[in-house]
Structure 1
Amino acid sequence: MEEERLQKYMARCGVASRRKAEELIAGGSVKVNGIVVTELGTKIHPSIDVVTVDNKRITEENNFIYIKLYKPEGCVTTVKDQFGRKTVLDFIDINERIYPIGRLDYNTSGLLLLTNDGETANKLLHPKFHIFKTYLAEVEGQISDEAIIRLKNGVEIEDYKTAPAKVKIIRRTSYVSTVQISIYEGKNRQVRKMLDAVGHKVKSLKRISFGKIGLDGLKPGTWAYLKDEEINFLKNGQEG
């Protein structure tokens, strides 16, 4: 009988991505056969062991759900918020338990994907797959060609240098500029920090695509199930 790492099993059951599953294990929310497990290396026998999360038994999902939401500004990308702020799940009226793939910060709007397919979510969050996320950023001031070149080549942020980005100017005036920027990394507030690094504060930021998946006429606060071709991209697509 084949064993499986607990966090991988949790991801397959649609509880969370592997990364989030590890947080749940470390936080004492997970039991195996009634015993709290906090060791991340724990292995289980899926066919006989009973796994619970917050005292609710989990089982493998047979029907995965994939949703895209046009996240408005002023809400958090989380399942629930300790401060009572509006979350992205407040906009989606389904019974199934889903969770976001990655994050958009409180003041960033645009495309957010949600699912209960933990394995696919785990893959998409890994930068080795080079899936580009594209943003429209309105920044203060007239951005220079030199700044664009720096962004394309990667800039120093805190303790790391960003990977090369795809960047083009959409609009440029003396007071404000609009830039389209595509990155395949997903570090916290990365686009804002990149533009700060070249001397331009972000006034507004919107994600317009995740690989080949776009907003397709969605309005802020509205959502739709992914089409078959979009799901196929999530599962099999890989950009250069």
Structure 2
Amino acid sequence: MSQELYRLNKYLSDAGVCSRRAADAAIEAGHVIVNGEVAVMGMKVTSDDMVLFNGKPVSNKSKKEVLIAYNKPAGIVCTAEKREKNNIIDHLNYPERIYPIGRLDKDSTGLILLTNQGDLVNKIMRAVNAHEKEYVVTVDKEITADFIKKMANGVYLDELEVTTRKCHIKKLGPNKFNIILTQGLNRQIRRMCQALGYHVRTLKRVRIMNINLGDLKEDTYRDITPSELKKLKKMLEGSKN
């Protein structure tokens, strides 16, 4: 019986090594070896091929599915890069190979998901899928009605040369607000506030789609519950990866 063929970037993603985008970059950089030869973009492999990623063997054969919610403290960097001493993977020291779904910048706190399921990462992360992420933010001065209106309607970011999507925002206190985004531009909330003359003091992510931070203590993690996972997968139906 013929072996099923997988595109190499999907094979690496399914194996929990990295996202497809990161796999493409690694292949282009010559960091992936298949059966003793340097891999090339677009090639296909089977489960029986010998695949090395940065010199380490990779397999996409059946493994435990992992999806955890972590309450990230400030100072931890959402990368698997070993050269970063505060990288999230070494800090957690989880017994399975996992990697973060997206980023939460070093100074920010709150919810980040980590998994070994590549397709899950792609579907949640791709901006075109417009999945919600919710934050609670404090700033350095009193929030005005004009600030709320401008944030909600979209802010032009000079550095990125883009206007942010319209979003839901609610004032919670004199200098505190709740905001729900459907895109993930680099340091988006901080840039939006800065463009309007405000500076972020604290930024905490409290929800990703249907997964809530809840009362999870800082610097601890939990498994996503079966009911949460079922609802998440339902929400991801039709999402592009």
Do the two structures share a fold, i.e. TM-score over 0.5?
yes
Post-superposition offset of 1:233: 3.2
Post-superposition offset of 1:59: 1.4
The AA in structure 1 aligned to 2:133 is: K
Distance 2:204 2:171 in 1: 15
The AA in structure 1 aligned to 2:31 is: S
C-alpha contact (below 8 Å) 1:30/1:51 kept by paired residues: yes
Post-superposition offset of 1:99: 0.2
Distance 1:43 1:83 in 2: 31
- The corresponding residue for 1:199 is 197
**Which residues in structure 2 correspond to 1:169-208 (within 5 Å)?**
169-172=171-174, 177-208=175-206
Post-superposition offset of 1:92: 2.6
Distance 2:235 2:177 in 1: 26
Deviant stretches of 4+, over 4 Å = none
What is the CA deviation profile of residues 198-239 of structure 1, one whole-angstrom value per residue up to 9, with x for unaligned ones? 211101111011011111211111111110122223322159
Would you say 1:22 and 2:1 are equivalent positions?
no
The AA in structure 2 aligned to 1:18 is: R
- The corresponding residue for 1:67 is 68
**3-state SS, counterpart of residue 21 of structure 1:** helix
- The corresponding residue for 2:151 is 151
Distance 2:56 2:162 in 1: 40
- The corresponding residue for 2:54 is 54
What is the CA deviation profile of residues 175-200 of structure 1, one whole-angstrom value per residue up to 9, with x for unaligned ones? xx001111011111011111111211
Post-superposition offset of 1:47: 4.0
Post-superposition offset of 1:9: 1.4
Post-superposition offset of 1:83: 4.3
Q: In the superposition, relative to structure 1, how do residues 146 and 211 fare at CA in structure 2: closer, same or farther (>3 Å)? A: same
Distance 2:220 2:211 in 1: 15
Distance 1:78 1:196 in 2: 25
- The corresponding residue for 2:38 is 36
**3-state SS, counterpart of residue 62 of structure 1:** coil
**Matched residue pairs, number?**
232
**Which residues in structure 2 correspond to 1:219-238 (within 5 Å)?**
219-238=217-236
TM-score by length of 1: 0.90
What is the CA deviation profile of residues 8-46 of structure 1, one whole-angstrom value per residue up to 9, with x for unaligned ones? 111111111111212222222111111112x43x22131
- The corresponding residue for 2:167 is 165
The AA in structure 1 aligned to 2:68 is: I
Distance 2:5 2:84 in 1: 39
The AA in structure 1 aligned to 2:136 is: L
- The corresponding residue for 1:108 is 108
**3-state SS, counterpart of residue 172 of structure 2:** strand
When the two chains are superposed, the root-mean-square deviation of aligned CA atoms in Å is 1.8
Post-superposition offset of 1:163: 0.8
C-alpha contact (below 8 Å) 1:120/1:234 kept by paired residues: no
What is the CA deviation profile of residues 94-145 of structure 1, one whole-angstrom value per residue up to 9, with x for unaligned ones? 3210000000111000000000000111111012222111111100111211
Distance 1:153 1:194 in 2: 11
The AA in structure 1 aligned to 2:170 is: K
- The corresponding residue for 1:119 is 119
**3-state SS, counterpart of residue 237 of structure 1:** helix
Distance 1:45 1:77 in 2: 30
C-alpha contact (below 8 Å) 1:70/1:112 kept by paired residues: yes
Q: In the superposition, relative to structure 1, how do residues 83 and 131 fare at CA in structure 2: closer, same or farther (>3 Å)? A: closer
Unaligned runs of 5+ in 2: none
**3-state SS, counterpart of residue 102 of structure 2:** coil
- The corresponding residue for 2:9 is 7
Counting aligned pairs with the same residue, the percent is: 34
